[in-house]
Amino acid sequence: MDALKNVADEDLVVLYAEGNNEAFDVLLNRYEKRIFSYIYFIVHSQELAEDIFQDTFVKAIVTIRQGKYTENGRFQAWLTRIAHNLIIDYFRQEKNENLVSNDDSGVDLLNNIHLSEKTVEHDIIEGQIRDDIRALVKLLPDNQREVVRMRFYQNLSFKEIAEVTGVSINTALGRMRYAILNLRRLAEERDIVLTVD
């Protein structure tokens, strides 16, 4: 397996398709932490994340073995997209598509400037703002909520978001723009203040 460690992803896929199981082991070792972290970050459940993680790699194995994998130089993005689709499928089945969580992440969606000296009162206000934002994000249309989650909670670039969701970068940017506009509108309608004074 050591001899394969420096082999490119696409070459490993070819080797695996030809029957070299060690090639897939290298791919698994290369991406298992990133893919599992991606899944866990969204589902917030170790057991569910493990199930979806296994399903992701099983689907990858089957696709490669059937010769249906199309080489495009983006193996990791392909794996992430499989995981992403399996997560969406799971939540659709559960009739619960509220995939966004902001639990103690400190993410600031509306570009607020954090104060340098934090007080207990400041922390309480920030916690309330996070709760308010989380509630507002749940009200966004699915495609906007998805882009917000990937950009602000997973720190994906718009190029990565476009690859994972199968849209153009301009579409991903447009969805983010509308998400921010909608969040501001929803906050105004509900008289919610999203800044710390």
pLDDT value at 50 more than 80: yes
Are the CB atoms for 146 and 99 separated by under 8 Å? Answer: yes
- Nearest CA among 51, 55, 49, 1 for reference residue 29: 1
- Distance in angstroms (rounded) separating the CA atoms of residues 158 and 102: 20
- Distance in angstroms (rounded) separating the CA atoms of residues 184 and 182: 5
pTM over 0.75: no
Give CATH 1.10.1740.10 domain extents, the chain. Answer: 2-93
Per-residue pLDDT tens over the stretch 62-104: 888 888 888 777 888 899 889 988 888 888 777 544 444 444 4
Per-residue pLDDT tens over the stretch 95-147: 544 444 444 445 544 444 443 445 566 567 667 777 778 888 888 899 988 88
| Cα 94–chain centre separation | 19
Q: Which helix (H) or strand (E) holds 173?
A: helix 169-189
State which CATH number among 3.40.50.300, 3.30.43.10, 1.10.150.300, 1.10.1740.10 fits the domain covering 2-93: 1.10.1740.10
Are the CB atoms for 53 and 39 separated by under 8 Å? Answer: yes
- Distance in angstroms (rounded) separating the CA atoms of residues 125 and 195: 9
Give CATH 1.10.10.10 domain extents, the chain. Answer: 120-189
Look up the CATH number of domain 120-189: 1.10.10.10
